[in-house]
Structure 1
C-alpha cells in the first residue's frame, strides 16, 4: 500500500477514535461524549429527545434540525446531541421526558439550564439556542469572585450573617397560603405554625391540612420560576422576583410579575414567555431594592 494511502487511513482511524459520537451533520449521538466536549469548550449542551414514531420529531428532523441556520448556531454556541428515547430509555427516565420532541439545555457539569417541549420552527430553535448560550455566559459571570466589600460598622446587635439568614427565611408570597390561593383564588394569610420548604423557599399555610396538601405536590402550588418575573427573564435574562400585587394564573400555574405592564405583556402572549422553561436555583435570584 502506498505511504500516502496508509497515512490517510491512519488519520481517519485517529479521527474516528477521537470523535466516535459526532455525526457528519454536527449532532453527537452520545451524551457522555457531548458532556466531555462541552467541558473542553466550556459551552452548554443541547439534548434533543426524539423518537421514530413521533410525527413532530420527524418534521423537525427534516425541516429544522439540519438547516444551515441551526447548524451554524450549534457550531458557534453549544454542543448538541440527539437522543432517541427508544434506544436510551434510561436517559428518558432520568430527564423525566413525557412529551416529544423535547429539548434540554445543560451546563457542562450536567446542571439544567432551560427545558422545552413541542415542535419548533427554525427561527424559534435558533433563538432558544442563543438564549441558552447567553444564560450560561451570564451564570458563569455571576459566579466569578466578587471584590471584597469594605468593612462596615453594624449598628444593630444582629450580625450580618444572621441578618442574611433571616432574610433567606422570609416566607414566599408575603406569607399568603399558596394552597388557598390556587383552590379558591383568594389571598389568605398563612401561619408560621404551618410551614413547608420547597426549592430553598419557605411557604406558610393556613392549616395543617393545607400544609399536607402542599407537601404532597409543592410544584403545583408554588409560583413558577421561584416567583421570578417571566417577562424579565425572557427579555433580559434576569431572575428578579415578582410581587403578589401583580400575580396571574395561566393553565392553573401562578406567575408573579414586577409590574402591571409586565403582567399585561405576559397575558397578551403567555406561550412566548413560558415555552422555554428556565431552571433556576434560589441563589440565582437578584436582590432588588424597591
Structure 2
C-alpha cells in the first residue's frame, strides 16, 4: 500500500478516526463528514461523527495524521492508514508501512522517547518534509 499523505482535504485517506478506538481501521463515508483544523474527516457512522464533533481533540490523529515515527525524527511522512496504535495516553498515532519498511516497530522500541521528540518537533514547527 502506498503512503497516504494528509492534505487540507480528506484526512487519514478517508478512514474514520473514531473507529481506530475500537481497534479497527475502517473507511469512512463522505456522507458523514466533518471539517476540523483544515481537514475533512469521514466517518463510518453518524454516531462516530457525533463522537468526534463532541471531542475532536480526543480522536484526531497526532501530528496532523503524519507518521509518528518520522515526526520523532523531525520529518513529515505519509502513512498507511491501516498501520496505527492507540498510545498509552489514548491518542491515535499513525505510521508508514510500504517499500521503505514499517515504522511502527521502531516507535514501539522506545515509545516514550520518540513521543517526547515528536511532540517537541510538532510544537516547535520544526518538522520537514521527509524523503
Q: Using the TM superposition, give the Cα deviation of residue 177 of structure 1 relative to its aligned residue in structure 2, in angstroms.
A: 1.2
Runs of 4+ in 1 over 6 A off after TM superposition: none
Q: Does 1:249 align with 2:86?
A: yes
1:168 counterpart = 2:11: no
Q: Could you say which residue in structure 2 is the equivalent of 1:200?
A: 38
* Residue 280 of structure 1, CA deviation: 7.5
TM-score, reference length from structure 2: 0.74
State the 1:265 CA deviation: 0.9
Task: Please state if 1:279 is matched with 2:123.
Answer: yes
1:267 aligned onto 2:111? no
Q: Paired residue for 1:177?
A: 16
From the two aligned structures, give the one with the greater helix fraction: 1
Corresponding residue for residue 188 of structure 1: 26
Which structure has more RCO (C-alpha within 8 Å, separation ≥ 6)?
2
2:3 is matched with none
The structure where strand makes up a greater share of residues is: 2
Give 1:108-187 correspondences, 5 Å limit.
Answer: 168-169=8-9, 171-182=10-21, 184-187=22-25
For the 8 Å contact 1:230–1:257, the answer to whether it is kept is yes
For structure 2, the 5+ residue unaligned runs are 1-6
Count of matched residue positions in the alignment of Structure 1 and Structure 2: 117
| CA contact 2:27–2:44 (8 Å) conserved in 1 | yes
Matched, 1:234 2:72: yes
Q: Can you give the 5+ residue segments of structure 1 that lack an aligned partner in the other structure? A: 1-166
Matched position secondary structure for 1:178: coil
Tell me the CA shift for residue 264 of structure 1.
0.4
2:54 is aligned with 1:212: no
Instruction: Describe the superposition over 1:248-289 as per-residue Cα deviations: whole angstroms up to 9, x where unpaired.
Output: 2212222112235421010111001112412387xx77487x
SS of 2:76 mapped into structure 1: coil
The secondary structure found in structure 1 opposite 2:18 is helix
- Preserved contact between residue 228 and residue 257 of structure 1 (Cα < 8 Å): yes
